[in-house]
Amino acid sequence: MEGANSITKKIDYIEFTLLSPSEIRKMSATKVITADTYDEDGFPISMGLMDPKMGVVEPGLRCKTCGQRVGKDKCPGHFGHIDLAMPVIHVGHVKTIRDCLRATCRECGRLLITDKRREEFLEELKRCDETGRSKHYVYRAVIDEARKVESCPHCGRAVGKIELDKPTTLRENGKKLTPSEVREWLEKIRDEDLPLLDINRNAARPEWMVLTVLPVPPVTVRPSVTLQSGERSEDDLTHKLVDVIRINQRLQENRDAGAPQLIVEDLWELLQYHVTTYLDNQTSGIPPARHRSGRPLKTIAQRLKGKEGRFRSNLSGKRVNFSARTVISPDPNLSINEIGVPIKVAEELTVPVRVTNYNFDWCKKMLIQKFLPENAQKEYVPGVNYVIKTAGNIRRRIKITEKNAETMLEKLEIGDIIERQLMDGDLVLFNRQPSLHRMSMMAHRVKVVPYKTFRFNLCVCPPYNADFDGDEMNLHLLQGEEAKAEAEILMKVQENILSPRFGGPIIGGIHDIISGCFLLTHKDRKVRLDKASYLLAAIDYKGDLPIHVDENGERYVYGRDIFSTLLPKDLTMKYKSKVYADRDTSEAYVVIKKGVLKQGTIDENSIGAFKGKLLDRILRDYGMDAGREFIDKVTRLGIAACTIFGFTTSIDDEDIPEEAKLKIQEGLEEAMEKIKQLIHAYENDELEALPGRSPEETLEMEIMKVTGKARDMAGEIAGEHLGLENSAVIMAKSGARGSMLNLSQMSGCVGQQAVRGERIHRGYKHRTLPHFKKGDLGAQAKGFVASSYKRGLTPTEYFFHSMGGREGLVDTAVRTSRSGYMQRRLINALEDIRVEEDGSVRDASGKIIQFIYGEDGVDPARSYNGDAVDIDSVIADVKGEI
């Protein structure tokens, strides 16, 4: 559509060249000689830095060069120029200049290699062109060879040693070369030698790297801003140019007046400094030019470089329309494919729809329905925000309000475009930063909901790595049909359940969903009929009531039969549950026969994200639609089960009987005694050192072993008294949340604290804290926390615990920044490689990286834990075993 009224051209190639002084003068609209910008009346000074010949920034004013205004006609601005009194070196090119000087003779300007070698190098370059190899080595070799020469092979002049004194001083045999001398030298280099110096002879001359005239960028590039107070504030570049002009003028005056050489040289160096910082204000070796407030100026290089620079911030990255951002919150009643979008957001986001013969009535309905009286009571009715009418070449955007809706309805005609508000069923992209993998941005179906947060199913938290402690997420509305189709096929949440990271489900039951299913299926759980109907209603069950039993005049349904209603009718499998992972009795196994859960407990190993075997099987054998439905229903069933049975945890879940506490106490004392013995043995030189270890290291290792065992012992004793009737234990064992280690630290003993993998040893002289004797090697003095979280830590224990905790905090901070940078480099290196139709992996130039993707051509997202096929289940299937 865009192509119809615009000319499209293909870029053949881009050539980067140097600007020659004559080119700079040719493109210049004016010479700039005055360092001032505006006069007292606020008018720009002619031949000053804000000369209107270089373009205008205020709306309405006309450019003196092209006569156009800035807004409507788009005067692009025009360059000016400053004639430098003396030449200065361009910082960006110093290294090239150095190489040019090193490779050539100061006398005759020819390459310091024999004609024969010269021919050979040219030959070599030609060969590189043919084979597509990098010419880098050849250029290096030319310079290296020239540097070894002692006298010029052409004129015999002794070759001096060229050194670059950063940032911009060049020396020959230790003697400073002035920019003028450098320029004279570079002028002597012959055109035909340039290809060997990596310079395109059609594009540049080496002496252009020494500036004699400085281009002044258009005013549009460095606009001045007028503050409310009426004061003008100039751009950093303008400030810097003022400095350049001022020094340039003084230099000229002094030189013309025949000032002493010393003064002229000082001013010359100052001019060099100003031009250098104008180009790059972060040149190492010189102090950055500062603003009056002390802030370093943002000059040309700073505008382009780095994350906030033009490239990364404005060219690779763009701000977009049709997007929204708000806080997220959970909603287990939504499908994993859905997203709840607040009404306020839905009313702002629009989709363009072209009015055609086929949808004319529908478009009319959309336009008016928001204002119809029968819809007044409805919470949300999608309307139309704008109508775009095209008459000839003029596009008109008309905002639809209650007042003009009727008239616009009459005027609506085929060919118009209506910008329709978001409605249920629209496909949108949903994203949470940091976008570390493809699942960080997935497509969801919209459901417009009240209140002000984005809502989604809890199972979709792991791929986004989201929680609801205040996280915000972004939403992007797809605008075109192709985009929608592509997102539907590739980006929908259900298409991303299987992660390409490890070939298993990344979306699955978490937290309460697992607890709920555990409660429902553990140990022959029976549910009274009324409650069973509640559960079945939660999963929209339609069909016969599952088998029920009568007991004491009440009817009961087995929990696992309720769960079975979610299973495909021909599913048969057997695997181990997580609760009994350490046992090998029959109850440790989950057995499903023909879609009926015969025995076993449903936990993380069945339905969990990452680990759920049952979920994995359903996804692979019954497809993504079945998998999505399963997850949706398991979510609702799990939550409903929790609601019915009740599930709560509190601090008394960590209560253990007095005798257990005593037993732990005894165990800890025993460990202390053992440590004392070890220290005693060490002090009497009786401790046998381990191979390759000093006695000190051996002692530390032995003590660490003992403290580790002591904590395990405490955990075990505590664990004996924490059974599966305990909610905290249910969560830990079923994999819903927390671990047995967490529990044993809460009720038993926290254990040894470590910094850098060692017991805590730094602090005061010969001791960690003044509470201990100097040289104390005992457990308490080196960071062993014998208390439990519940009982509370002693002051010293608390301090050691904080030390260990802080290390963890610092580690995560360091890790994230480091891995972020690593990932950035990887992405930049790999961004243009792709899998071609023939299965080979190639880069943008068609170079082959891999002949078959990953050597085996297997899509990791469709692999079984990285393997191409799940052989075991295939064999079991064929043999008919379960």
Site for another protein contains 129 (CB under 8 A): no
User: Which residues, numbered 34-93, are part of the site for another protein (CB under 8 A)?
Assistant: none
Stretches 153-161, 446-454, 618-626, 848-856: which one binds another protein (CB under 8 A)? 848-856
Binds another protein by CB under 8 A, chosen from 415, 708, 723, 854: 854
Select from 47, 851, 871, 872 the one that contacts another protein (CB under 8 A): 851
Q: Output the smallest distance, CB 854 to another protein, in A.
A: 7
Q: Which of 35, 327, 835, 858 binds another protein (CB under 8 A)?
A: 858
Q: Where are the strands (E) in 704-855, listed by range? A: 751-752, 754-755, 758-759, 784-785, 834-835, 841-842, 848-850
Give the residue, chosen from 845, 878, 879, 881, that forms a contact with another protein under the rule CB under 8 A.
Answer: 845
- Looking at the Cβ atoms of 132 and 792, the one nearer to another protein is 132
Nearest to 768 by CA among 749, 786, 757, 754: 754
Nearer to another protein, 740 or 858 (CB): 858
In the complex, the smallest distance separating the C-beta of residue 438 from another protein, rounded to whole angstroms, is 22
Write out 545-560 in H/E/C secondary structure: CCCEEEECCEEEEEHH
Please select the residue that binds another protein; options are 537, 826, 848, 874, rule is CB under 8 A. Answer: 848
How far apart CA 86 and CA 264 sit, in angstroms, is 10
Nearer to another protein, 131 or 377 (CB): 131
Q: Judged by CB under 8 A, which of 3, 59, 60, 132 binds another protein?
A: 132
The one-letter amino acid at 75: C
131 is an interface residue for another protein by CB under 8 A: yes
CB 236 within 8 A of CB 252: no
* Shortest reach from residue 823's CB to another protein, in Å: 25
Alpha-carbon radius of gyration of the chain: 38
133 lies in the site for another protein, by CB under 8 A: yes
Looking at residues 96 to 125 of the shown chain, list those that interact with another protein (rule: CB under 8 A): 124
Segment near another protein (CB under 8 A); pick from 64-72, 340-348, 843-851, 874-882 = 843-851
Which residues does residue 498 pair with via DSSP β-bridges, in sequence order? 505
Q: Is 857 in the site for another protein (CB under 8 A)?
A: yes
Helix (H, G, I), strand (E, B) or coil at 380: coil
Residue 5 or 131 with smaller CB distance to another protein: 131
What residues between 136 and 195 interact with another protein by CB under 8 A? 137
Tell me the residue length of the chain. 882
Q: Where in 811-840 is the site for another protein (CB under 8 A)?
A: 838, 840
Provide the residue type at 756 as one letter: R
Comparing CB distances to another protein, the nearer of 129 and 361 is 129
Residue number with CB closer to another protein (138 or 678): 138
Asked if residue 373 lies in contact with residue 478, where contact means CB atoms within 8 angstroms, the answer is: no
* Minimum CB distance to another protein, residue 75 (Å): 47
Is 344 near another protein (CB under 8 A)? no
Task: Indicate which single residue of 315, 485, 822, 852 sits in contact with another protein (rule: CB under 8 A).
Answer: 852
Which residues ranging from 196 to 215 are in contact with another protein (CB under 8 A)?
none
Indicate whether 229 belongs to the interface with another protein (CB under 8 A): no
Q: What DSSP string describes 227-288?
A: -TTS-EE--HHHHHHHHHHHHHHHHHHHHHTT--HHHHHHHHHHHHHHHHHHH-TT-TTSPP
Binding residues for another protein, rule CB under 8 A, total: 23
Among 868, 871, 874, 875, binds another protein (CB under 8 A): 868
Strands (E) across 104-209 are located at 162-165, 169-172, 175-177
- Indicate which single residue of 846, 878, 879, 880 sits in contact with another protein (rule: CB under 8 A): 846
Cβ distance 585 to 504 under 8 Å?
Answer: no
Q: Alpha-carbon distance 721 to 381, whole Å?
A: 58
Q: How many helices (H) and strands (E) does the chain have?
A: 24, 32
Residue with smaller CB distance to another protein, 858 or 882: 858
Between residues 145 and 655, which has the closer beta carbon with respect to another protein? 145
> Please, which residue, 12 or 856, has the CB nearer to another protein?
856
**478: helix, coil or strand?**
coil
Find, among 649, 801, 666, the residue nearest to 736 by Cα: 649
How far apart are CB 132 and another protein at their closest, in Å? 4
Q: How far is the CB of 835 from another protein (least distance, A)?
A: 14
Smallest distance from another protein to CB 127, Å: 9
* Pairwise CA distance, residues 871 & 864, whole Å: 9
Task: Considering the complex, state which of residue 160 and residue 500 has its C-beta at the smaller distance from another protein.
Answer: 500
Closest by alpha carbon to 624, among 353, 399, 336? 336
Using CA atoms, how far residue 505 sits from 460, 617, 624, in Å, is 11, 10, 11
Look at the alpha carbons of 557, 559, 563, 564 in this order and tell me if their dihedral is positive or negative: negative
> What torsion, rounded to 10 degrees, do the Cα atoms 854, 855, 857, 858 define?
-60
861 binds another protein (CB under 8 A): no
- Residue pair 448/473 in contact (Cβ under 8 Å)? The answer is no
Q: How far is the CB of 846 from another protein (least distance, A)?
A: 5
Contacts to another protein by CB under 8 A: 124, 131-133, 137, 838, 840, 842, 845-849, 851-852, 854-858, 866-868
